[in-house]
Chains A and B, each alone.
Chain A
Amino acid sequence: MSSFRVFDIAGSALSAQSLRLNTVASNLANADAVGSDPNSVYKARLPVFKAVYDQGSPDAASVQVLGVVESQTPADRRYEPGHPLADADGYVFAPNVNPVEEMVNLISASRAYQGNVEVLNTAKELALRTLTLGS
């Protein structure tokens, strides 16, 4: 039945948003993982979403995660001559993670996730009521 497409759509959004939450968690966890080389230090990861129209139903799109890209912002250079990983000039390189951006992403992803859970719940309720029609 076509109404079960709602579950596919909301489900795809849930997995996309939870992947986004995962990247936020990864970025925040590694925000202070400094290194001595700006190229090998951790780079912030960002998921890329895309709307996908299925063959059977061209009107309603589900969400697909096209991939996870690394932010191209240059690594943050900090002067810490006492640090064991400091280079010859006394600099260490911190990941290009912006904690403020990540927190905003976190809130947005968590709200979107909640919204889609509500959609799922409503659709489930309606489907159940339809199944018990006439009893």
Chain B
Amino acid sequence: MAALDPIFGIHAAALSVQSKRLQVLAANIANADTPNYQAREIDFAKVLSSTQKPIGTPSVQTLTTDSRHIPIAAQTIPNLDGLNLPYRVAQQPSVDKNTVDVQVEQSKFADAALHYQAALGFANGSIRGLTTAITGQ
């Protein structure tokens, strides 16, 4: 996996984040009628910051001349375990303390699916590029 990282780059990480997000949103939709269930969501900023913690030394160093520059980190696969996912604030609280709004969850699910497909498309592009380089056609 690590050897392939320069090929797939950020898209492998994007795939795993979006697949996790799909999972969380599917759980929200599945529990739309469960009393006391609180809808959750992945905090993207938190995941992003977890990917930027360098583990080991990156193979390539970049010069950061501004505090807002993002340095290249050795680890690009985000840590998705023990994220402590935040709970969504209900727009229309219900009597049974369930905070799932199915319409919101469905639109977010569609959004996550689209992001997943986009990352897949980019990864596919990388593979096609490699294939062209290998076969020379």
Q: Are B32 and A60 in contact (CB under 8 A)?
A: no
Contacts of A62 in B (CB 8 A): 27, 30
Interfacial chain B residues near A115, Cβ < 8 Å:
29, 32, 102, 106
Q: Please measure, in the bound complex, the distance between the C-alpha atom of A58 and the C-alpha atom of B35, giving whole angstroms.
A: 18
How many contacts between A and B, using CB within 8 angstroms? 101
Residues of A within 8 A of B24 (CB): 59-60
Least distance between B111 CB and chain A CB atoms (Å): 11
Interface residues on A, range: 35 or more
User: Are B29 and A6 within 8 A (Cβ)?
Assistant: no
Q: Is the interface of B mostly helix, strand, loop or mixed?
A: helix
Nearest CB to that of A134 among chain B residues?
B127
Q: Does B31 belong to the interface (CB within 8 Å)?
A: yes
> Which of B48-56, B57-65, B66-74, B116-124 is the interface stretch?
B116-124
Query: Complex: how many Å from CA A126 to CA B25?
Result: 15
Asked if A61 is at the interface of the complex by the 8 Å CB criterion, the answer is yes
Interface residues in B, total, Cβ within 8 A? 35
The answer to whether A12 touches B30, judged by C-beta atoms less than 8 angstroms apart, is: yes
* B22 & A50 in contact (Cβ 8 Å cutoff): no
* Contact A49 B34, beta carbon cutoff 8 Å: yes
Q: Which of A50, A108, A123 is close to B26, meaning CB atoms less than 8 Å apart?
A: A123
* Residues of A49-66 whose CB lies within 8 A of B: 49-51, 57-63
- Does A31 lie at the interface of the complex (its beta carbon under 8 Å from any beta carbon of B)? no
Let me know if A9 and B27 touch, CB within 8 A: yes
**CB nearest to A14 among chain B residues:** B30
In angstroms, Cα B12 to Cα A133, docked, is 12
Closest 7 pairs (CB-CB, A-B): A13-B30, A60-B27, A134-B127, A3-B19, A49-B34, A6-B26, A51-B37
**Beyond A59-B85, A61-B30: 17 further Cβ-contacts under 8 Å?**
A12-B30, A20-B33, A49-B31, A51-B34, A51-B36, A57-B23, A59-B24, A61-B27, A61-B37, A112-B32, A115-B29, A115-B102, A119-B29, A119-B30, A122-B110, A129-B117, A133-B127
